[in-house]
Amino acid sequence: MAVTHIFFAVFALVLVYKSDVCSSTHVSSSPTDAAVLIVVDQSGKGHYRTIREAINAVPSKNSELIYISIKPGIYREKLVVPADKPFITLSGTDASNTIITWNDGGRIFDSATLSVMASDFVAIALTIQNTFGMRGKGIALRVSADKAAFYGCRILSYQDTLLDDYGRHYYYNCYIEGATDFICGNAASFFESCQLHSLAKAFGILTAQHRNSPSENTGFIFLGCNITGSPGGTDLGRPWGPYSRVIFGNTFMSNTVSPEGWRDWDDPRAQRTVYYGEYNCYGPGANRAKRVGWSRELSHDQSAQFLNRDIIGARSWLRPLPTHFKKRRPQHVFDVKDYFWKN
């Protein structure tokens, strides 16, 4: 089962890359298509027993692709990928059995289970979890760097689950769970084929986007996603910043979405400056008959500028999985199939 899931995660990554990069004249900023392989295995059969040790082993000012393969297990670790260690991939075998978990809350920038501060980061098939619960802010994932991509990951908490802080980010086939402002920040992010699950029973907010001026090219774009949860209690978003921008396109909205759809965070002035749009959404929660009048039902032409990965410049930085791995000692390069199918 693990082999099957890692195959599909890799296959999805390759498809996304080919559809968005190979047809472009731009190239990825990746230094090479071969990666240094580091294996994390709690049983002691890998290079390290903890993910923290593997990240620490990456040299400062790294310029190589680093592929950290994490064997199944529950890793109780609070992790930071430092800004001077770009080009790191953290890959599990299946998000259901490769779990990074911590329990911390309070300050929004300090509580994250995993903080990504380095550019050119990739995560595949991981659960990233903060178990702080309903007591307050408890971030599972903080992304405060440019060019980060997440494939087949589960991101779980209650309040402020995903601090999508700044930079350009891509989420594909991810499951994101929370209740209050559970996707927040001022990044330029594209969420494709993701499930957004609200835990709220009466008052929930999916997004709190933090765009502060019309000149900022930031916002959250959701394409082909699926919104689920308890009936009637969750809004699509509210403005953390006065020019907050969120668009949902071709998204299924269950009856968890409130009829009004959006909130102004008790500041009517925001109604004149936010950009909240919906295009071709469907399901019982997509009925716009009672939507707030300051949200937008977008036409095909209006939505076209948002509903593609070009809005995050993905052609220039999304990269495929490395085609070869190499070990530091001895220097040996082998095909990706040799590792995934024999280990």
DSSP string covering 42-100: TTTTSSBSSHHHHHHHSPTT--SEEEEEE-SEEEE--EEE-TT--SEEEE-S-TTTEEE
Whether 173 has a pLDDT exceeding 50, the answer reads yes
> Which of these, 143, 175, 139, lies nearest to 160 by C-alpha position?
139
User: What mean pLDDT comes out for the span 70-92?
Assistant: 98
Q: Do domains 1-166+319-343 and 170-314 have the same CATH topology?
A: yes
Q: What is the pLDDT of residue 31?
A: 58
Could you please state the CATH topology (level 3) that the domain comprising 1-166+319-343 is classified under.
Pectate Lyase C-like (2.160.20)
Pair 194, 220: CB distance under 8 Å: no
Q: What is the pLDDT of residue 281?
A: 98
Angstrom distance (rounded) from CA 64 to CA 211? 33
CA dist 43 to 8, 50, 70, 74, Å? 25, 10, 11, 12
Supply the DSSP symbol for 254.
-
pTM (2 d.p.): 0.89
- What is the Cα gyration radius of the chain? 20
Q: What is the pLDDT of residue 159?
A: 95
Angstrom distance (rounded) from CA 187 to CA 265? 20
Is-cis flag, bond preceding 322, omega within 30? no
Mean pLDDT lowest for which of 27-31, 169-173, 311-315, 324-328? 27-31
Angstrom distance (rounded) from CA 239 to CA 139? 19
Q: How do the domains of the chain map onto residue ranges?
A: 1-166+319-343, 170-314
Classify domain 170-314 at the CATH class level: mainly beta
> Which of the four pLDDT bands, split at 50, 70 and 90, describes residue 322?
confident
Q: What is the pLDDT of residue 211?
A: 97
User: What mean pLDDT comes out for the span 104-125?
Assistant: 95
Residue 283, Ramachandran bin (φ over 0: left; ψ between -120 and 50: alpha; else beta): left
Annotation marks residue 266 as catalytic? no
Residue 281, Ramachandran bin (φ over 0: left; ψ between -120 and 50: alpha; else beta): beta
> Which of these, 226, 229, 185, lies nearest to 207 by C-alpha position?
185
Question: What pLDDT, in 10s, does the model give residues 278-294?
Answer: 999 999 999 999 999 99
> Which of these, 153, 158, 157, lies nearest to 173 by C-alpha position?
153
CA atoms within 13 A on the CB side of 179: 18
> Which of the four pLDDT bands, split at 50, 70 and 90, describes residue 18?
very low
Angstrom distance (rounded) from CA 190 to CA 217? 13
The residue from 20, 120, 146, 160 that is catalytic is: 160
Three-class SS state of 303: helix
Q: Provide φ and ψ at 85, rounded to 5°.
A: -125, 70
Annotation marks residue 146 as catalytic? no
